[in-house]
Amino acid sequence: MLNTRGLRARAPVLVAVVAVLLAGAGVWLVAGAGGDVLRRHTVVDGVPLDVVRPATAAGRRPGVVVAHGFAGSARLMAPIGDTLAARGFVVVLLDFSGHGAHERGLPSDADAAEAARQRDLDVAVAHLRGLPGVDPARIALVGHSMGAGAVTRYAAGHPGITATVAISLPEASDVAPGRPERLLLLVGGLEFAGFRDAADEAARNGGDAVVVVPAVEHISILYAPRAHREIGRWLDGGGGVAPSPLRGVAGAGLLLLALLIGVYPLSRLLLGGVSGSWPPAVVPRFGRVLGVAAGAAAVAALVAPILPTTRLPLAVGGYVVGFTLVAGGVMLVWTRVRGAGSAASGGAAGRSGRVRVGVAVLVLVAYAAVAVAVPLHVGVTHAVPTGPRWWLLALVWAGFALLAYGSERLTGGNSVGLLAVSAVVTVALTGAALVGLAPGFVLLVVPLLAVLLAWQAVWSAVLHRFAVPYWAIALVGSLLVAWPVATALPVVV
């Protein structure tokens, strides 16, 4: 007969072993993601630069500056840099003002922001031209989204740029016949129609070629092997074997999964035996949950644009903070007025039990920070807060924590219900962006936000298994969502 009690006792150990194995595989993938290249980080005139060059290259090599898009970073573009270095280029990747490790904020005025980007590109191009082993007469540019617009404008005004690749160009006003020279336009087959229209217009205005990369959208195009091949061919590099652009992000995915799985044995270690339960598949009063969530999200979408939070020095983030505070607050008030939900999902009674829960929450918050920041930073994009991002992170976290707490109370801690509330939130944000209440960039990040909210719901299910109080579940889980938002969105001045 199967010894279920013994199996349950050994389950945390088995889960921990699986988590360690997955983490090891993730580290191995991330460590080898760049292939055989040399890397160096430097800061020139305040602009953070990553220099990537072939490990073995003789003579003078062509150079490429690679520029990221809005809410991106040099780290996000690293796979393209690795591909180009493998083909014989010396590559400089920069963090634009307000992004990544750049300590200067992005001007809130559109013209001043563009001037700041052009200055940053000037610094990157000048540094690249001055590097030993670089042919200063063979400099090309690659940019994505906002960065595509910036490099297109820069190349149009600097005839010395030999070729330009614009990935997901937002608009084509800077393209004219022969300006910039040798312009390739890449666009994802699943992107919003506006990006395809901009590429077609740029081609009519003087762009040399348009390539639609199938089955990818605005972010995944950066990891598409087809896109990397097109960039390499257009810039006419050597025939080196490029590393897979998917290896680093796959490694980050395994690390995220490992750390997600690891929360179960960690919670067992911190909180002892299981005293809660997994959430049921059926959500009690599901229609009412959806109705209240929809009403709260609608109020938040309407009120957020007029709140003082819009003045926060975090592009788009001010609206998001206002939205989450209002939506979470409305749900919480409704549950208190109607007596729905409960203050906690259970937990140890007595002073010693409360102390144990308090210590566990502190450890779990730290673990959540590691679980989101480390995989993103080593395998996807810059995720270490700098300068004002630390206090902005606290505000963004507070907003998502209130949203999570209101959702926990509204759904009675049911993770399926949390997923439904998350779906309502993402739909509301999408609608707000479509009608102009929220910044248009929200449309591009809503899919990522939906994934983060779903990830938070899984953590909630695990923590409910150990009867962690609602407030603690909200505090821990919301950090998983708030951290990427606060570290990716640009700081503005």
Rg, the chain, Cα only: 24
CA dihedral in degrees (31, 34, 40, 43; nearest 10)?
-100
pLDDT value at position 343?
A: 46
pLDDT in the model for residue 352: 62
Within 13 Å of residue 404, how many CA atoms lie on the same side as its CB?
31
Amino acid in the structure at residue 123: V
Tokens representing 415 are: 């993770």
The answer to whether residues 248 and 35 touch, using CB atoms and an 8 Å cutoff, is no
C-alpha–C-alpha distance, residues 232 and 235, integer Å? 5
pLDDT at 1: 47
Distance between CA atoms of residues 148 and 67, nearest Å: 7
Of 132, 127, 125, residue with least CA distance to 161: 125
Backbone dihedral angles phi then psi of residue 70, each to the nearest 5 degrees: -60, 130
| Contact present, 284 and 66 (Cβ < 8 Å) | no
Architecture of domain 34-242: 3-Layer(aba) Sandwich (3.40)
* CA end-to-end span of the chain: 68
DSSP conformation class of 273: S
Give which of 425, 445, 443, 426 is closest to 434, Cα–Cα.
Answer: 443
Residue 52's identity, in one-letter code, is: V
Cα(292)–Cα(198) distance, integer angstroms: 40
Write out pLDDT tens, residues 282-328.
888 899 999 999 999 999 999 999 999 999 999 999 999 999 999 99
d(CA 103, CA 109): 18
Query: What is the pTM (predicted TM-score) of this model?
Result: 0.94
Residues in the chain: 493
Task: Look up residue 174 and give its amino acid.
Answer: D
Kindly report the number of other CB atoms within 10 A of residue 137's CB atom. 11
Residue type, 297: A
Encoded tokens for 474: 């909200």
In order of 151, 312, 405, 408, the CA distances from 340 in angstroms are 54, 34, 13, 11
Please tell me the predicted confidence (pLDDT) of residue 278. Answer: 76
Element (H, E) at 51: strand 47-54
**How far, CA to CA in Å, does 463 sit from each of 312, 370, 436?**
32, 17, 38
Domain positions in the chain? 34-242, 274-488
CB 176 within 8 A of CB 427: no
For residues 246 and 240, what is the distance between their CA atoms, to the nearest angstrom? 18
Q: Categorise residue 392: left if φ over 0, alpha if ψ from -120 to 50, beta otherwise.
A: alpha
CB atoms within 10 A of CB 8: 11
Low-confidence residues in the chain, pLDDT < 70: 1-9, 57, 237-239, 274-276, 340-352
Helix 350-379 and helix 247-271, axial crossing angle in degrees, nearest 10: 170
In DSSP terms, 54 is beta-bridged to 37
Beta-ladder partners of 183: 164
Residue pair 481/449 in contact (Cβ under 8 Å)? The answer is: yes
CA-CA distance, 481 to 483, in Å (whole number)? Answer: 6
- Rounded to the nearest 5°, which phi and psi values hold at 64? -140, 135
Phi and psi dihedrals of 236, rounded to 5?
60, 50
- Between CA 247 and CA 255 the distance in angstroms is 12
Cβ–Cβ < 8 Å for 268, 274: yes
**Structure token pair of residue 17:** 């072993």
Annotate 417-436 with DSSP letters as a single string. HHHHHHHHHHHHHHHHHHTT
Q: Would you call the peptide bond into 439 cis, given omega within 30 degrees of 0 as the criterion?
A: no
Angle between helical axes of 389-411 and 317-338 (0-180°, round to 10): 30
